[in-house]
Each structure stands twice: as structure tokens, then as C-alpha cells.
Amino acid sequence: MDKTYQPSTIEKQWYETWESNGYFAPSGEGDPYSIMIPPPNVTGSLHMGHGFQESIMDALIRYNRMKGKNTLWQVGTDHAGIATQMVVERLLDAEGKTRHDLGREKFIEKVWEWKEESGGNITRQLRRLGASPDWSRERFTMDDGFYKAVQEVFVRLYDDKLIYRGKRLVNWDPKLHTAISDLEVINEEKKGHLWHFNYPLSDGSGHLTVATTRPETMLGDTAVAVNPDDERYKALIGKTIKLPLTDREIPIIADDYVDMAFGTGCVKITPAHDFNDYEMGQRHNLEMINIFNDDAHINSNAPEKYVGLDRFVARKKIVEDLEALGLLEKIDDHNLKVPYGDRSGVVIEPYLTNQWYVKTQPLADEAIKAVEDGDINFVPKQYENMYFSWMRDIQDWCISRQLWWGHRIPAWYDDAGNVYVGRDEAEVRTKYSLADSLALKQDEDVLDTWFSSGLWTFGTLGWPEDTDFLKTFHPSSVLVTGFDIIFFWVARMIMLTLYFKKEIPFNTVYVHGLVRDSHGQKMSKSKGNVLDPIDLIDGIDLETLVQKRTAGMQVPQLKQKIEKMTRKEFPEGIAPYGTDALRYTYYSLASTGRDINFDVGRIEGFRNFCNKLWNASNYVLMNTEEHDCAQDGSSDYELTLADRWIVSRLQQAEKAVIEGIESYRLDLASQALYDFIWKDYCDWYLELTKPVLWDDNADEAVKKGTRRTLIRVLETILRLAHPLMPFITEEIWQRVKPLAGAEGDTIMLARYPVPDATKIDQQAITDIEWAKGIILGVRNIRGEMNIAPSKHIPIYIKNGSDDDKRCLADNLQFLKKLASLESVEWLTDADEAPLSATALVGKLEILVPMAGLIDKEAELARLQKESDKLTKEVERLEAKLNNPKFVDKAPAEVVDKEKNRLADVNNALGKLAEQQNKIRNL
RNA sequence: AGGACCAUAGCUCAGUUGGUUAGAGCGCUACCUUGACAUGGUAGAGGUCGGCGGUUCAAAUCCGCCUGGUCCUACCA
């Protein structure tokens, strides 16, 4: 093996091997385990959030696959109606064309062309992450089969009276010319104004002052409302207003909704352009006057002089005109929330249009019940509250979109405007007994992308046909997703799946946090703080990174700021860390928190961890290859204390890792594995094998036992780690397996370790801990006293029990090697010890002779530091034990524990004082 | 306005049902190229667990209030 770990040389090759050998596909044996990938947007490229999420899913899948389950990871992308259409329109725009120049059919062809060429970006990147979905079953929400499922669902919901068409106020995107759901609207706090206008009463007896943040909508006002209890205006209710700038008269109405304390207590009502006004309009049967076109320019319902003006131009003009009429009372500064389209970035208009809706209440009731009854569990549990709060206040779902790219609504109209819903025109004619001569026209609109992705868990498995895959893998085992998408997708999937499949889509929803930058900022292009997972894998030099982050930036100051920040944060660019390190970093951050701050400092640590594993394996291979490691199954070997210890610790580590994975705490799993590999296996065990393997006089059976343990524990570690770090483990495993007596073509399909409690040798653990205590004591003296590591020193041991004696005998060779000892001598009470530095391990005293090595003052200072620490501890313990309430009320074992501890600490303190006196009196 | 979540070492984070000497990684200090590894080793420094109060023999952990931060939902025109 190469001396240092080079991820780039192993990753690609192994991925190709796995994929071409079909290892990702379900085995067809064992209990089914399935995960449906939250389909990434086909226009997208892999961002840190995807990287995080896919890494988690891959770990779960690999773990369960190795446990022998029949594992399906269903992959695919969604067609992302608006986003994809926008991408292709932008391309057309570069040629100076619009989609209307092409026409619907040609445009859709173009989109498909684009999808074939560029749509595979994100799936290619997924492969770089080492993801192991069954690529042969990759689905796209616009695939024929999926299309069929979508149509089926629409038709059935319509026939079941759960889909209806209605003219309602929707969130309208004036740039994209489509309705969007309220989840796609981002409300942002903006500084604006509150304009106060005087509306004259028709009878000339005065005026009312109304306040508005949107003066342009006054052209569509059809009432002024006051609170019925408002003494100021009670007398005016029922009178009319002469609406300025128009020739209309509008009534003054009374409604509880009006807050007497806000503004003037009079509200202008524009039912066609405001959601609250709309409802009031319904209550009072007000006329609805729409004053906008699709692009939010004033339409011909308004006075001629405003027709065709953009809404913001019209606003200015109207304010000017009202001012000229002397009707502008005042302008106050005012903070308000402005709705923006999350795709287009323009201000969204409440707009009156015909749309299709899903009646959600009956679906939601079932969906709530499924979670209440525990059929579906959220992890962490707290997200259930979020789910419930949204579900219990659910609005009907507007599913039509005025786009070309998407699932076209299977509804047809005759010239009279009658609606017929069916799977195709022929079916519609039969179903509704329509004459062939009747002209039918299909609805122009398409369905919301989330409508189709709501069918994802069963639509991808062949529904409406009852396929074997559907029977085997539905419901899926777990959904892994971010909390930001609970409403968008999770809730809708649960509703639609329960209705059509009469079963839940998944047993568990594992909700993870959102990946942010190291300061907790959301990663965004405009902030210039985006990290590309691929750059973390392959590395990127500073100049390219700066360029990438500032590309397309229009504002020079912003560009400069981002460049400066990037150069400061990554003066050397980003090193190539490799996929395994990236994945491990994700796992280490996968705790229950909502925000995941990604700090590049941590990935470096895990790259080092990979290197550590790599080099440790190198050591193991050097000592086992071409040696007898009992790989033939022979049993003429002996295990050392160290061997028994590491095997014991391995069982405990396996248990901790498995518990972490099973409870969706990959941070705990990765931490347990990290500690075991680095601290137990590398720092201690490998060092403990050296005195055996390097001893020419050592018993061959003992050497064989050590080699056997070395290689077998390593082989187990690799399997244990594989779901988290697939590439490095496979690479090393291939070399290790013959020596460990393991079989199989790939570690991917090897069996996951199962902890065996009977292999835990408690005595071995205690004894090695004892040895570690002594070694650490000596090392502490060495370190503090600056004794060169190369200097071999003698030590004396005093005040030991028989058990200590036994431990010493068992550990002597380990102690000598790991603490660089020249000799270890046992002292009885009668023996006169030389002047020494002292370390305490329990009651045991370890003496390092000072002669020629240790300065008297330095040792006194070291002892003082030690006793200061212990003195504080004594004070704390005494205070506690002198408190009668503690002694009376706390459980006896807790009290005993503290008593013992106090005795120990006091004893140690006494010895330290004794030692200090000895040195001082010299 | 209502609700949720968060606040632990300089930084990024763990800390399961109250009882540990409060941990890890990075960074920092000192020493070390010893035959797996300087992407390393050894030793060490660093925290009154945001603040105040309460419950308890015992609180980082449970409760209340406050401060600071993030987010969600609903919005007053």
C-alpha cells in the first residue's frame, strides 16, 4: 500500500466496480428495507444539504444491506416545473427567443433535450459521494409510468369529489405568470409607507381617512370598512363614499375584522387583491374588481389614464394624483411584510384566477391520525408538533400551475365551458357520453410538481399496477429529509399515499438539520459562502474558488467582499479531502440540532483519521502478510492480555456504533468508531503488539495469536466502518480479507459485525487499564520534567497489593516498551527508595529516580500543582459529606461512592505531602 | 402577535432517564523525525455549562423569568 492515504486513487475505481457488478440492487433475500430518495430537482447540482442527506441515507442502506436485508434504495429526480422551465427559457432568451416563439410542443421537446444533456449532473455527483442506490430503477417524475400514476390520482380524486375547480384568490407570480403555493412565497420584512387618503362621503358631509400600504389597489376598492362598535363611524355605516380617481360609489360597511386602534380605524376593501379583503368581500357580497393583468400592469377595469401602467408606476402616479386633489392626508413610515416568489424574486400578487384545488381536510384527518397513532414516527419527535400544527390548519391545495413543463391536467372543456375529467380524450368521450362531433380542448395548465412527488413512494414502484416491488418494498422503511420540507412534501406524501394505497408511505421520518456555513449563515450564492461538496472531495485552488464564488456577481462591492472573505477563510484554497472524510464529517455533525454548521476544520480532522486507519492497516499488513495468522483455522495460538483486551473493547465499540445507527444518531456512531479506532486500536493496541512481535525470543504461539488478533480486529473494524466510509474500507479490506480468513468479493456484501458479550473479558479490561495508569503516570513525569523520550529510565513500584504484583508480571513487557523503561523494581516497605518523582495510580506509588534527571524545584512545583487540584476536590467532597441532608437522603451507593472517593483523594494528598517534605528536606 | 428551537473551552460540536474529576475535534503551549503514520507521537494549558430565581440531599440536565440568536406560523389595512 502507498505510504500515505490518497483518496483520489481509490474512490473512482471502486465505485465503478460496485456499480458494474450490480451490488446496489436488492438481493432478493431477507427482510425488505427500503428508502426512497427525496428526488432532487433535475436542474440542480449537488449542494451541501444533498451531500449530507444522501450520505445519511447511504449509511443506513449500506448498514442494512450488510445486515442481510433485502435492500432497495430507490433513486430519481423530479421535473421541477418552474425551475426547469426557467432554465430552458433562459437558454432561449440567449438566442433572443421566447417559449411562445416555439410553441408549446416544440418548447417541451427542447426541455426534454435539455434534460437528456444536463439533467444527469446531480446523479453523477451522487456517485462521487459513494451513494449506492439501485441505479437500474432510476425514475423521473415525468417518466411514462409515473405520468400514468399522476393521471390516475388526479382522475380518481376528481371522481371522488376531492378535486375541484374554482375561481379564487391565489398567489400569483407576475413574472412567471403562474399561481404558486403559499409555501413558495417568502415573506420579507421591508420598510415601506402607510399612505393616508381622505375618501369623500357621497353626500358631501365630509370624508373618511383610510390608510394603505398599497395605494394602487384603491382602483379596485369596493367598500370601506369600519368596526361596528366604533363610535366615531357608527353613524356612517350604510352611507357611501365617492371613490376618488374613479366614478364609482362604494359603501361603508361594518365588520369585526377592523381594528379600531390601528391607523384611522377605516379600511379600504379591495376583495380582488387582498386575502383578508377577499374574505370580507365574501361576507358582505362585495363586488370584486380585478385591476391587474397577468403581468401586474393595470387593466382596462381602471380609468383610462392608468391602463397599462406597471403596478409600482401606478402607485406613484396615484399618490401624486390624490395629492393634487388634496386628498393625501399624510405618509407614515411603516414596516410591512412583502411576499416574494422564491423562484422569480418578484413581489407576489393576490390575484383572481381559475385554478384546480385539492380538498385537503378529509385527507389531512387521516394523515394526522397516522402520526397520532404512532404508525408513522418522526425522529426527533419534536417535529411531530410542526407537522400537526400545519396539518390541523390546512388550506385547500392549489395544484394547477400556468406552465408548460409538467403533468398536463387531464381535463377537457367544450365550447360551453363544461369540464370533463378522464385519462385521455377518448376516455372522456366515453365516460361522459359525448358526441364525436363535440369539440374538446384540454386544460392548458399543468400540475404542481409536489402533486407528483407526493406519489413518490408508490409511484416509483409501479403503481397503479400491483407489482412485486410494490408489494415488497412499500411502505418504505424511513424517509430522510430536512424539516423545511415537512409541509411541502412529507405531509402531502402521507395524505396521498394513505388515500390511494390505504397504507403509510414510510414508518419513520428522520428529520435532519440544515447545513449552514461555519458561522451559522445559510449558504447562498448571493452571500458567496457556498461550499461545493465536490470541491471538498477533489480540492480546489484559491483562484478557481474565488472565481466560482464571484461568477455572475453584478454588484462590484459585493464581489469584492466575497473575494476578500474567501481569501481570508481559505488562503490555500481547499485541499482534496476525499469522499470518505467528507462523509465522516457529515456523520459527525448529524446530531439532533436544527442547524448544522459546517466547519472545514473538521473535515481535515477526518481526512487525518482516514490516514490514520490507512497507516495502521499498513502496519498490520506488514506484520501479517506472509505470516501465519491462523487464517487456515488452526488453533495453536495463544492470546495475550492485550489481545483479550482489544477484543473486549471491540465488542463494546460494535454495540455503541450499532446503537448510534439504529437510533439515527450517526454523530454518536461515528464518534464511538473514531475513538475505538484511534484511541484503543491505534494508540494502545498496536503499540502493545510491538513488544510481542519484535521480541525474537517470544513464543511463536503468542506471536501467532497476536497476528491473528491484529488482522481479525482490523477486518472487523473495516466492516464496522464501511457504511460510513465505504471507499477506504473496501480498498483495505481486499488486502486484509485473506489474512483474516474472510471471504466474499466485496466488503459491501460482507456481514455487519454482531457484538458478542461473551467475548468481553472484564479482567483483561481492568488489567490493561491498570497498565495504562502506570504508563500515563510515568509519561506525565517525563513530559513535565522534560525527560527525553529516548532516555530509558528505571522505575520503582511501592505499596502494591498481590493483585498489583500479578498485573505487573502480566504487563511488564508492555510497560517497558510503552513507557520506555530500563527496569521496573518492586519495593517493599522496608526498602529504602532513592529520591524520586512520584505518580500515584490508586494506592500504588510509582517512583522515577530523580538523580541527574529531575530538578528538585521543578518536581516540587509539579507535586504542588497536583495537590492543589486534589485539595479542591477534598473541599468539595467534605462539604458534601458534612451535609447531613445529603448523607440521609441520597441513595446509599451514591454516599458510599463519595466517601470512598474522599478517602482515596485524602490518601493521595497525604502521599504527595510526604513526598514534598522528603524532597524539601534534602 | 403566537409558537418552536438554540445558548457548554478561542472556534465547530457531544453530554440519553438529575449523582462524571463536564468531554471530542480543530486551534494553542512545550518536547520529539523512536523500525504504521509529522495528515504523526507524548505531555500540558484552557470552561463559575448565557443571566437571575426556584424545585431537590444533589441541576449543564427539571421548572419559571430575563437577555441574546435562529426559524416557523399568522398578520394591522
pLDDT value, residue A646:
96
CA distance A381 to A549: 38
pLDDT value, residue A204:
86
- Residue corresponding to grid cell 421591508: A190
Please write the tens of the pLDDT for every residue from A280-291: 888 888 899 999
Please identify residues in chain A, positions 462-521, with a C-beta within 7 angstroms of any atom of strand B. 484, 487, 518-520
3-state DSSP assignment of residue A481: strand
* Distance CA A343 to C1' B38 in A: 50
CA distance A710 to A20: 33
Answer yes or no: is A3 CB < 7 A from strand B. Answer: yes
* Strand nucleotide closest to residue A616 (CA to C1'): B36
Positions on chain B within 7 A of a protein C-beta: 3-6, 11-15, 19, 21, 24-27, 30-37, 39-45, 56-58, 69-77
CA distance A918 to A850: 13
pLDDT value, residue A191:
78
Answer yes or no: is A885 CB < 7 A from strand B. Answer: yes
Answer yes or no: is A171 CB < 7 A from strand B. Answer: no
Answer yes or no: is A9 CB < 7 A from strand B. Answer: no
How many Cβ atoms from other residues are within 10 Å of residue A684's Cβ?
A: 20
Please write the tens of the pLDDT for every residue from A554-571: 888 888 888 888 888 888
* Distance CA A637 to C1' B53 in A: 66
Average pLDDT, integer, range A31-60: 92
Answer yes or no: is A592 CB < 7 A from strand B. Answer: yes
Answer yes or no: is A4 CB < 7 A from strand B. Answer: yes
Answer yes or no: is A224 CB < 7 A from strand B. Answer: no
Answer yes or no: is A185 CB < 7 A from strand B. Answer: no
Please identify residues in chain A, positions 788-807, with a C-beta within 7 angstroms of any atom of strand B. 788-790
**Residue A189 pLDDT > 80, yes or no?**
no
Q: What is the pLDDT confidence band of residue A329, given thresholds at 50, 70 and 90?
A: confident
Average pLDDT, integer, range A461-477: 94
Answer yes or no: is A901 CB < 7 A from strand B. Answer: yes
Q: What is the pLDDT confidence band of residue A665, given thresholds at 50, 70 and 90?
A: very high
**Residue A703 pLDDT > 80, yes or no?**
yes
- Distant-in-sequence contacts of A672-678, Cβ < 8 A, 24+ apart: A673/A720, A673/A721, A673/A724, A674/A584, A674/A588, A674/A609, A676/A649, A676/A650, A676/A717, A677/A609, A677/A612, A677/A613, A677/A616, A677/A717, A677/A721, A678/A609, A678/A612
Answer yes or no: is A695 CB < 7 A from strand B. Answer: no
Please write the tens of the pLDDT for every residue from A705-717: 999 999 999 999 9
pLDDT value, residue A82:
86
Helix (H) or strand (E) holding A369: helix A361-372
pLDDT value, residue A857:
85
Answer yes or no: is A824 CB < 7 A from strand B. Answer: no
- Residue corresponding to grid cell 402520526: A371
Please write the tens of the pLDDT for every residue from A333-348: 887 888 888 888 888 9
Per the structure, the residue whose CA is closest to nucleotide B75 at C1' is A337
How many percent of chain A have pLDDT more than 90?
Answer: 52
Answer yes or no: is A610 CB < 7 A from strand B. Answer: yes
Query: Would you state the cell numbers that stand for residue A375, as one nine-digit string?
Result: 404508525
Helix (H) or strand (E) holding A689: helix A687-693
CA distance A44 to A271: 39
How many Cβ atoms from other residues are within 10 Å of residue A569's Cβ?
A: 14
* Distance CA A507 to C1' B56 in A: 40
* Strand nucleotide closest to residue A787 (CA to C1'): B31
Answer yes or no: is A70 CB < 7 A from strand B. Answer: no
* Distance CA A671 to C1' B16 in A: 15
